[in-house]
Chain A
Amino acid sequence: MYGNAYIDPNEKANGILAGEDPIKLKEFENRIARGEKIEPKDWMPKEYRKQLIRMIEQHAHSEIIGALPEGTWITRAPGFRRKMALMAKVQDEVGHAQLLYSAAETLGKSREDMTNDLIIGKSKYSNVFNYPAFTWADACIIAWLIDAGAIINQVANAKGSYGPYCRALDRICTEESFHLKYGHDNVVTLATGTPIQRKMVQEALTRWWPPIMHFFGPSDKISQHSEILMRWKVKMASNDDMRQQFLNMYVPKIWDLGLVLPDPNLKLNEETKKWDYTEPDWDEFKRVINGGGPCNAERLAVRRMAEERGRWVRKALLNKSEQYVTPLA
Chain B
Amino acid sequence: MIKSLDPRITRENISENNTIDPLTPMDNWETYEVFHQKKRGDQHMHVGIVHAPNPEMALLFGKDQYGRRGITANIWVVKTANVFCTEYEDQDMFETTPEKQYREAGGYKVMDKINKYKKAQKA
- Classify chain A: how many residues form its interface, as a range: 35 or more
**CB–CB A307/B20 < 8 A:** yes
Given contacts A322-B30, A323-B81, contact A304 B20 (CB under 8 A): yes
- CB neighbours of B33 from chain A (8 A): 327-329
Prevailing SS type, chain A contact patch: helix
Of B27, B31, B80, which contacts A311 at CB under 8 A? B27
A126-172 CB contacts (< 8 Å) to partner B: 132-134, 167-168, 171
Annotate A304-321 by CB proximity to B: 1 below 8 A, 0 otherwise: 110110010011011100
Counting CB contacts under 8 A, is A45 at the interface?
no
Counting CB contacts under 8 A, is B69 at the interface?
yes
Q: Tell me, in angstroms, the Cα distance from A98 to B50 when the chains sit together.
A: 8
Of B2, B26, B68, which contacts A318 at CB under 8 A? B26
- CB neighbours of B64 from chain A (8 A): 91, 95
Of B5, B28, B50, which contacts A72 at CB under 8 A? B5
Q: Tell me, in angstroms, the Cα distance from A248 to B50 when the chains sit together.
A: 38
- CB neighbours of B87 from chain A (8 A): 41
Seen from chain A, the residues whose Cβ lies within 8 Å of a Cβ on chain B are 39, 41-42, 72, 75, 91, 95, 98-99, 102, 105, 110-113, 115-116, 119-120, 132-134, 167-168, 171, 175, 297-298, 301-302, 304-305, 307-308, 311, 314-315, 317-319, 322-329
Query: Can you list 18 A-B pairs, Cβ within 8 angstroms, ordered by A?
Result: A41-B89, A95-B64, A98-B51, A116-B23, A171-B48, A301-B14, A301-B16, A301-B17, A301-B18, A322-B30, A322-B53, A324-B25, A324-B31, A325-B31, A325-B79, A325-B81, A326-B31, A328-B33
